[in-house]
Structure 1
Amino acid sequence: RNKSGGKRRISCQMSLMSGTLESLSGLGEDGSSVGSDSEINGLTVRRTDKYGFLGGNQYSDGGDKEVRVEVARQREMKWLDMFANWDKWIKHRFQKVKLRCRKGVPSSLRSKAWQLLSNSQELLLANPGKFEVSLSQGEAKWLDIIEKDLHRQFPFHEMFAARGGHGQQDLYRILKAYTIYRPDEGYCQAQAPVAAVLLMHMPAEQAFWCLVQICEKYLPGYYSAGLEAIQLDGEIFFSLLRRTCPMAYRHLKKFKIDPILYMTEWFMCIFSRTLPWACVLRVWDMFFCEGVKIVFRVGLVLLKQMLGSVDKLRELQGMYETMERLRNISPDMIREDILVQEVSVCECVCLVPCFCFCSQP
């Protein structure tokens, strides 16, 4: 009986791991492109939300909290003042920069802020023309894989809905350029949604250098073959969960749900395929400022929200039910303001090393 039970558990784990990798590839309910340009321009297309989504799980129905115009203007002026004296702010008033990132970067200035926070702008200026030069090269095997993945990235967003459209073309260029820039690493499927988010906010060349910083400074080793870095961080994450939410820890331990089964997509895609879009942007604002510890904190908050009470666990009687909950987080379960507040008070994760290029220990 023990051997039989062990085989069943291994089979379940293999099946779930396969599902995790499939999800990372973009396969599934949202895995098909909306279609061609003619379909996009036809009668079937609905109005986009304020983030550019035509539909899908991350479409916003307009219920997001709106910032008053005068408040938005004040925030923009504060950020413009920081931009004008960026080095001084980072060196001498970093805590204030961090606080403003936690409040949310103004949408009109998010591109500039992310580039400065990540130091990708400095990389761009130090490597004039390198992005364009790299586009004339490329290894065939990576290019074929990249091309197959393009239509799977945010197929309900106006930038990427049309097959062969400008968004998909720029995404192809960025991912191809990275395989030339780092031929030893090549291409990882989780890079595609990350690059797509960057493209929603900045031109292709700027997005490329921002992607380089994410891969090399923020999440080093995450996109290498073998997933060794993400597995190691999975062990760290699980030990932190034991301290912050013992109930969730015991539940996952009981059903032998390894962290890599759910955190692969969360961490490698920086929650871009997991959370409501307003939450995604706030997480990325904090991530670019404070580094990888934000990813850990968000993961801990999500598990506490979904598995942190007896009532919630009553609905999850097994491995599959639990995994279904972790892979399909209901927008009703997490609100933008609550998420940011919980992330801010999750102080224990400060022990996690921060790879953010500009942040302080």
Structure 2
Amino acid sequence: MASNGRLSLSSPNGDSRWLGACSPLESVTPVLTCCGFKEYEERTGRTLQSNGSQHPLKKQQQWVSPRKPLSFEPLSTTALILENRPPNLPAKCVQEAQRHRREYEEMVAQARKRELKESQKRKKKMKERCKIEDGISNSVMTWNTEILPNWETLKQMRWVRDLWWQGIPPSIRHKVWSLAIGNELNITHELYEIFLSRAMEKWKQFEDSNMENGDVEAELELEAVGADRENSLELIKLDISRTFPTLCIFQKGGPYHNVLQNILGAYTCYRPDVGYVQGMSFIAAVLLLNLNAADAFVVFANLLNKPCQLAFFRVDHSLMLKYYAAFEVFFEENLPNLFAHFKKYNLTPDIYLIDWIFTLYSKSLPLDVACRVWDVFCRDGEEFLFRTAIAILLMFEEVLLRMDFIHMAQMLTRLPENLSIDELFTAIATVQLQSRNKKWGQVLATLQRDWRDSGDSSRNSSPNRQ
């Protein structure tokens, strides 16, 4: 079609009428652009017209309305309402065009408003995050430079306790927890290695006797073993897989699986009178997330040596009942309506409280919330565990008052996963563990004395007494 740089528009058979008889988009190959027509006219001095009409492409482009430049690019196809209609459709009337313009402007305004709100939210969150990070940084400096070097002198100071209430920075939790819980048992790292070796030997004996982890009969046999026997070591392997399963770090093949197993095994050999009890793994796991293995064992052993923990882990029913009775005294004092509601449906504390106290809330609450509870528990002791329990009931009081026994039990044994730290500690701050001018320790001591006296009286009055 081209010769010596010239563009020929004749048909393949030489008929010059071919161009005028055919549609430009149907017959011209290649399709000529407006620039191609202009170049042809300049070179030939001829005007490409047919019967006085405009250029074929110009005629075709008559109905095309180029999009107007926009200061705001709308989402999706919202701008289509501003486009002129093709010539084969009736044109928009003035009212419809104005309505479409208003709709478009409203959409743009709403999109801008949403973007502005989202931008403000992002800025607010970023500002709050920076504020929290600055607070944590300042707190870490205060703990490291002022409090920890002078622990014994400052730990009971009011400003230190206030800072403690706000939460221990994660980077120094291992130091504060170790100091706060102490080491009354005088456990050393060497002692940990000794009992770990003993646990390894016992596990080897179990393997030699072909006791498999998944054997149902073996599991039932092991669960029937008394707590004073080291045979409960094998229960550890069965229980670790249930520890924080969503984290996937304590299960078999995870980075913390063997370390967690070692700590629990060493403790079982260290305290054969207690043995391993299901649920211990949650406490040891929380410690492992904040301390190394040897330090975690030291804190774990001393923590479980506290009276409240011993009562629950040794399943000392008489002492557990005293704790439940003391809890109910303050439960009724703080939440009389909910207490009466629980009594109506015979919902006793052992149904929900044992799981909370048994694992120090590490199984019941989100992990970050549980660590905050542990922070203050290390400061205030067992009293704070029961204070937290009443605060949880306070948070959900209105919901629980509308429930029956089944739904209350289900909710309290499976607390919401999105439970807020701030809301929980606000509720804890309102709970007062004081009844008739008696605090937690005094009420518990009174109950223990009364129960002991009543036990002595019953024994003295027994007809079988010699």
The aligned residue for residue 110 of structure 2 is none
User: Of 278, 301, 307, which aligns to 1:212?
Assistant: 301
The aligned residue for residue 129 of structure 1 is 190
Shift in alpha-carbon separation, 1:112–1:158, aligned structure 2, 3 A: farther
Distance 2:151 2:336 in 1: 42
Distance 1:164 1:143 in 2: 19
Q: Which runs of 5+ in 2 are unaligned?
A: 1-124, 200-228, 443-466
Percentage of pairs with the same residue:
26
Give the 3-state SS of the residue equivalent to 1:188 in structure 2. coil
Contact kept? 2:395, 2:424, Cα under 8 Å: no
Shift in alpha-carbon separation, 1:225–1:331, aligned structure 2, 3 A: closer
Distance 1:175 1:230 in 2: 23
Shift of 1:210: 0.9
Q: Deviations over 1:27-66 (max 9, x none)?
A: xxxxxxxxxxxxxxxxxxxxxxxxxxxxxxxxxxx99x74
User: Of 128, 132, 156, which aligns to 1:68?
Assistant: 132
Shift of 1:267: 0.7
Shift of 1:158: 4.3
User: Of 149, 153, 156, which aligns to 1:88?
Assistant: 153
Shift of 1:276: 2.4
Instruction: Give matches, 1:1-361, under 5 Å.
Output: 66=129, 67-80=131-144, 81-90=146-155, 93-120=156-183, 127-138=188-199, 141-160=231-250, 162-217=251-306, 219-306=309-396, 308-309=397-398, 312-314=400-402, 316=403, 318-332=404-418, 334-349=419-434, 351-353=439-441
Which residue identity does 1:259 align to in structure 2? P
Shift of 1:340: 1.3
Shift of 1:128: 4.2
Which residue identity does 1:69 align to in structure 2? E
Which residue identity does 2:428 align to in structure 1? V
Higher relative contact order (CA 8 A, sep 6+): 1
Which residue identity does 1:339 align to in structure 2? L
Shift in alpha-carbon separation, 1:340–1:88, aligned structure 2, 3 A: same
Distance 1:183 1:336 in 2: 37
Contact kept? 2:395, 2:427, Cα under 8 Å: no
Q: Name the count of aligned residue pairs.
A: 282
Q: Deviations over 1:58-100 (max 9, x none)?
A: xxxx99x74533222110011112111112113xx44333222
Q: Deviations over 1:221-245 (max 9, x none)?
A: 2210344433321121122111110
Contact kept? 1:215, 1:222, Cα under 8 Å: no
* RMSD, aligned CA: 2.4
Distance 1:197 1:87 in 2: 25
Contact kept? 2:189, 2:295, Cα under 8 Å: no
Find the structure with the greater CA-based Rg: 2
Which residue identity does 1:167 align to in structure 2? Y
